Structure 1
């Protein structure tokens, strides 16, 4: 149950994901005016894969594959965020694979004409912190000329100071990685290329927001046997349940917004530890965030009385019908959430749980 195995939203390209979501709506109206990139108003794809002869002739070019996608987000998979919040704006998405790399890197930005009337002149795709993703123009054959690509496009602005010059040069793009001429390609080609960034595991199945309906009760849990507990002396949890029962269903029915499911969904977590032997139950209020439910402790059906809103757990899909529960801090009800012991990082081995579906009776209060 090592926590390092759990990828939170923040570790999975937070900056790029937030950028495509937050700036997209603000610049959607302008971006839709770029008819030269997308004359029909549909998504557009441009790309190039360099052969061995080209790369041999350009030793300072690291990029072996490059694709630019203009349109709706090709990176985000079906996820846990409410469908009502899905981004429908047009943005620019760039992905490159350098020589020898197994997977691409990517960045996104909003694209607009650099002119007073916003209808003519060069196209600049901007990023946060007033950075440039790229400048764009089409040649007379409809190919995309992509320029002004910074060597540190995938690095933090102060990364050279943090990494040191040698490591910065190793991670940055090469001195010839600019002024790319990209051919028009089918949209499916770009989507397939972006899918290489973080391939979907088919064993995970559909998102939890699709697996669990707003009016559906569920029960997941695990009981650890003596052999497991003996081999994990730092684990306190002897039995754990995660569920939505009649109380949680009634709470959502009275004030939940089905269009924004799973935002506002209550779940309950019950834990029995080897030390206390008594069951402790805590309710959490969840919201969809990327590929997980982020759930903050609430005062509903709580065994604790302090301000516990900042205590969080995370739920994700597990393989073959399981669900994963992560406890990055002392936020699961194995200790008094109001105590000083709950303020720091979890020191025991109670951090990530793989839970199996159980009969609803197994989660009865």
Structure 2
């Protein structure tokens, strides 16, 4: 459930470089007519049968698809609607033998290759890495080459993982120079949808469920039975809410087009050791499928610099809200004390909160 760790890969790719990706697609979409003669999203793919795989034992890839166009990967998420579509313009997904789901990578494709030549089409990734080189043959098939074995691994992973584990996770020595057939765009979208199937129980994103001008209250009160199985938990009750004060703050300076960026939320906690509750305001922004919220000096009960204290909000099943508190960033202890520099105990890291009437979050 430590969903905060998913931010790293998202931020290193589409989220961090989204503006560059948008520019790349706008500048190059009309130029790469080999891939898309009509200017529409284009799909190429191939599924290898058992006979082919038996004849090529060093090939790990059993399914491969290349998609040129708008992002086929991102599901409806928490990022502002104004950022939609600002991502890569070339996407590759492969499924290796025995795998249940594909892996994918994205990049930006253009005629300007690293050596300055006009062909083949070069697709680059972040950190100056290569996604693939592309050519279209006289039958309209896509020749995909320069697919790196570590395309799904971090830079320097061979040294970090060791040779044996690196070879297990990397693509095989014959996983290159693929000849892919043109296919309907819907075929690629269906393939990419296999990566992270949408769970209907999760419902709409928080940014759709919680409107900019809407108050809300989520919380939980823990009983003796719960504490019996979670003896290290300090939290007696918790509330996450937006009330009139938070609504007024967003109305005065927030940008509706970028909701939920800039949204203030308040978190109140009562612990088993204290009779009074502690309330802290956080300022949030949408990133991937969660809200990342940094502690704000507004309405703070603490006097020190708390801006690096963070929590993460994510939709839960059946209307619940999940709150992750990975690094002691919830006001369980005094943010300014030495103890606040330590790690939160495991029983106070993840909260499953249910919707409550607004009166339950009243001061």
Whether these two folds match at TM > 0.5 is yes
Q: Which sits farther off after the overlay, 80-89 or 121-130?
A: 80-89
CA positional deviation for 1:157:
2.5
Instruction: Identify the match of residue 184 of structure 1 among 178, 182, 185.
Output: 182
Instruction: Provide the residue aligned with 1:305 in structure 2.
Output: 303
Contact 1:237/1:274 (8 A) holds in 2: yes
Instruction: Tell me how far apart the structure 2 counterparts of residues 228 and 132 of structure 1 sit (CA, whole Å).
Output: 51
Equivalences for 1:197-236 in 2 at 5 Å? 197-236=195-234
Instruction: Tell me how far apart the structure 1 counterparts of residues 42 and 16 of structure 2 sit (CA, whole Å).
Output: 20
Instruction: Identify the match of residue 55 of structure 2 among 51, 57, 63.
Output: 57
Contact 1:236/1:348 (8 A) holds in 2: no
CA positional deviation for 1:87:
2.6
Instruction: Tell me how far apart the structure 2 counterparts of residues 177 and 254 of structure 1 sit (CA, whole Å).
Output: 55
CA positional deviation for 1:278:
1.1
CA positional deviation for 1:234:
0.3
CA positional deviation for 1:347:
2.5
Instruction: Provide the residue aligned with 2:22 in structure 1.
Output: 25
Instruction: Provide the residue aligned with 2:242 in structure 1.
Output: 244
Instruction: Provide the residue aligned with 1:15 in structure 2.
Output: 12
Q: Would the alpha carbon gap of residues 198 and 343 (structure 1) be closer, same or farther in structure 2, given more than 3 Å must change?
A: same
Q: Would the alpha carbon gap of residues 347 and 360 (structure 1) be closer, same or farther in structure 2, given more than 3 Å must change?
A: same
Instruction: Provide the residue aligned with 2:110 in structure 1.
Output: 112
**RMSD of aligned residue pairs (Cα, Å):** 1.8
Contact 1:20/1:91 (8 A) holds in 2: no
Instruction: Provide the residue aligned with 1:263 in structure 2.
Output: 261
Aligned length: 361
Instruction: Tell me how far apart the structure 2 counterparts of residues 167 and 16 of structure 1 sit (CA, whole Å).
Output: 24
Instruction: Identify the match of residue 92 of structure 1 among 83, 90, 93.
Output: 90
Contact 1:9/1:289 (8 A) holds in 2: no
| TM-score, normalising length: structure 2 | 0.95
CA positional deviation for 1:107:
0.8
Instruction: Tell me how far apart the structure 1 counterparts of residues 25 and 108 of structure 2 sit (CA, whole Å).
Output: 8
Contact 2:113/2:122 (8 A) holds in 1: no
CA positional deviation for 1:18:
3.9
Q: Would the alpha carbon gap of residues 19 and 222 (structure 1) be closer, same or farther in structure 2, given more than 3 Å must change?
A: closer
Tell me, which stretches of 5 or more residues in structure 1 are unaligned? none
Instruction: Provide the residue aligned with 2:313 in structure 1.
Output: 315
Deviation per residue, 1:133-172 (Å, 9 max, x gap)? 1110101111101011111111222111111112111111
CA positional deviation for 1:11:
5.1
Instruction: Tell me how far apart the structure 1 counterparts of residues 86 and 263 of structure 2 sit (CA, whole Å).
Output: 25
Q: Which sits farther off after the overlay, 224-233 or 178-187?
A: 224-233
Instruction: Tell me how far apart the structure 1 counterparts of residues 321 and 345 of structure 2 sit (CA, whole Å).
Output: 23
CA positional deviation for 1:100:
0.4
Instruction: Identify the match of residue 47 of structure 1 among 27, 45, 48.
Output: 45
Q: Which sits farther off after the overlay, 153-162 or 91-100?
A: 153-162
Instruction: Provide the residue aligned with 2:80 in structure 1.
Output: 82
Contact 1:31/1:90 (8 A) holds in 2: no
CA positional deviation for 1:89:
6.0
Instruction: Tell me how far apart the structure 1 counterparts of residues 17 and 308 of structure 2 sit (CA, whole Å).
Output: 27
| TM-score, normalising length: structure 1 | 0.94
Contact 2:2/2:324 (8 A) holds in 1: no
